[in-house]
Structure 1
Amino acid sequence: MEMLNPHCGIERDNRGVVRLTICNAGSLNILSSAVTNGVREGFEKLAGDKDIRAVILAGQSEKSMIGGADIKEMAKLDQQSAEAFITRLRDLCEAVRNFPAPVIARLPGWCLGGGLEVAAACDFRIAAHDAKFGMPEVRVGIPSVIHAALLPRLIGWGRARWLVMTAENIDASTALAWGLVDVVAKQGGLDAAVEHTVKALLECGPEALRSQKVLLRQWEELPLTESVNLSVGVFGQSFLTGEPQRLMQGFLDRKR
């Protein structure tokens, strides 16, 4: 594993798939300011690499991808330092959300609070059979903020309200039924489930996937008619890459 900084290690295979591991953050991979900055810097450093086809975001231990934000650090905050703390976490979530290639959250064990916000900013969430999810902030006197705002879009208002206002945890099967995660792996099969998704992405045109990710982000923000009309030009531009011609011809050749 190559260490980009003390809290961010990367492994890259010959397919252009990068596993980005959150390191030296305790057994639950807790987001202190230093860890948050380290992981964000890792994503920002990799963002310009056009050869990356997908990123798997993982924690160093099997207890969690990210267990949450650092309560020891937060307990000492005041208004000004609290805003600085949460801005750092927002910037990490945005670095994930804006990363040009697809990002897969590998979710063993606990995924709580800031960890669930980072997971929500990923494109895909693949959970272990015994994973647990929750937004416990209100129990420690703070609201869930920043990328918790993605939750109503993912799971609907009622379920998002349940998570952020009751602070109750849900299990993996509930998370799947709610649409909070995309896949729940069989016992012992988390990496196989991640690899299945990686293989599906590698079958797709890399430029098309990058373009699709940008469109999806815009669709989250824009009114429907604008989303529809905006995408006409994006469709046309895709033919400048040469990818449609190559992949469509390959499809036609296989049909003969």
Structure 2
Amino acid sequence: MTAKPLKVWHDRDGRLLRLRLARPKANIVDAPMIAAIDAALAEHLDDPRLLGVLIDAEGPHFSFGASVEEHLPGQYEAMLKGFHALILRIVAAPVPVLVAVRGQCLGGGMEVAIAGNLIFADPDARFGQPEIVLGVFAPPASVILPERIARCAAEGMLFTGQSISGAEAHRLGLVHTVTEDPERAALDWFDTGIAPHSPSSLRLAVRAARGDYVCRVRDRLAQAEDLYLTHLMQTPDAVEGLTAFLEKRPAQWEAR
């Protein structure tokens, strides 16, 4: 692993905050990665010059998802609360958050991506929430995905764990642009779409467009978190599914 899980710098004369997941090829969204992204946003989002954030990743894949080990008893409560705080910070960001995706964008990685505003993706990228295959569910995706695409499409992904391509995600309205160079497309959109605008007016425009949405996500994520902590993780099947994945064996479900 690299010493730091995240690269942070400013672009476009300080008007664009760049965050790059820097643990290829998996770019696992584990506790250090969550803390690094959250700290970078907390430090820079209040900069009055800032017009946007671009999140991308080193290597061929955006992220394989969260750390399965951190979902086990003794770790999952702290992990979940920290991750949900990060998701809410992204959702409530005062400037547009752009995300450039190549390769796999799964689980917690996909939840980071969909918490932002606009996703730019390679047509062959893969988006998926495979948590149900491990006997658990994805609280942020359960809340955010039905807000972003048709409920039937969202529930299809959440209930089956099957992934979709970047091209299909674009057809569903989850992805803003499909392109062979997502980073370049995101930068071009920033340069032509928002760079000419007043930073203070843009922040008010973001607040006006997302105010209701932010409140819904905050309330419903708290409910989903409670369901996960007080019900799901008290079932034998949840622990069995996670353990079976780590032990590379089929899960033996007890249906309770």
Is 1:57 equivalent to 2:61 in the alignment? no
| Paired position in structure 2 for 1:21 | 20
Select 1:121's aligned residue among 71, 94, 115: 115
Query: SS where residue 31 of structure 1 aligns?
Result: coil
Task: Mark the runs of 5 or more structure 1 residues left unpaired by the alignment.
Answer: 224-256
Shift of residue 219, structure 1, vs aligned partner: 2.7
Query: SS where residue 50 of structure 1 aligns?
Result: coil
| Paired position in structure 2 for 1:229 | none
TM-score, with structure 1 as normaliser: 0.77
Any idea what the Cα deviations from partners look like across 1:101-146, whole Å, max 9, x if unmatched? 2110111111111111111110111101211111100001111213
| Paired position in structure 2 for 1:40 | 38
d(CA) in 1 for partners of 2:38, 2:200? 23
How many residue pairs get aligned? The number is 213
Equivalent residues in 2 for 1:103-252, closer than 5 Å: 103-185=97-179, 187=180, 189-199=181-191, 200-220=193-213
Query: SS where residue 195 of structure 1 aligns?
Result: helix
d(CA) in 1 for partners of 2:24, 2:68? 13
- Aligned-pair identity in percent equals 24
d(CA) in 2 for partners of 1:91, 1:19? 20
Shift of residue 148, structure 1, vs aligned partner: 3.3
d(CA) in 1 for partners of 2:14, 2:75? 42
Q: AA paired with 2:208?
A: L
Task: Mark the runs of 5 or more structure 2 residues left unpaired by the alignment.
Answer: 217-256
Shift of residue 156, structure 1, vs aligned partner: 1.8
Contact 1:107/1:127 (<8 A) preserved: yes
Query: SS where residue 181 of structure 1 aligns?
Result: coil
Shift of residue 147, structure 1, vs aligned partner: 4.4
d(CA) in 2 for partners of 1:37, 1:148? 22
Runs of 4+ in 1 over 3 A off after TM superposition: none
Q: AA paired with 1:10?
A: V
Query: SS where residue 30 of structure 1 aligns?
Result: coil
Shift of residue 94, structure 1, vs aligned partner: 1.4
d(CA) in 1 for partners of 2:175, 2:140? 19
Q: AA paired with 1:167?
A: G
Shift of residue 221, structure 1, vs aligned partner: 5.8
More relative contact order, 1 or 2 (CA 8 Å, 6+ apart): 2
Q: For residues 82 and 222 of structure 1, do their structure 2 counterparts lie closer, same or farther at Cα, with a shift above 3 Å needed?
A: closer
d(CA) in 2 for partners of 1:109, 1:168? 15
d(CA) in 1 for partners of 2:24, 2:58? 9
Contact 2:92/2:214 (<8 A) preserved: no
Shift of residue 149, structure 1, vs aligned partner: 0.5
Q: AA paired with 1:82?
A: Y
Select 1:90's aligned residue among 76, 84, 109: 84
User: Which protein has the larger Cα radius of gyration, Structure 1 or Structure 2?
Assistant: 1
Q: For residues 218 and 157 of structure 1, do their structure 2 counterparts lie closer, same or farther at Cα, with a shift above 3 Å needed?
A: same
Contact 2:91/2:214 (<8 A) preserved: no
d(CA) in 2 for partners of 1:49, 1:163? 37
Contact 1:155/1:178 (<8 A) preserved: yes
Task: Provide the alpha-carbon RMSD of the alignment.
Answer: 2.0
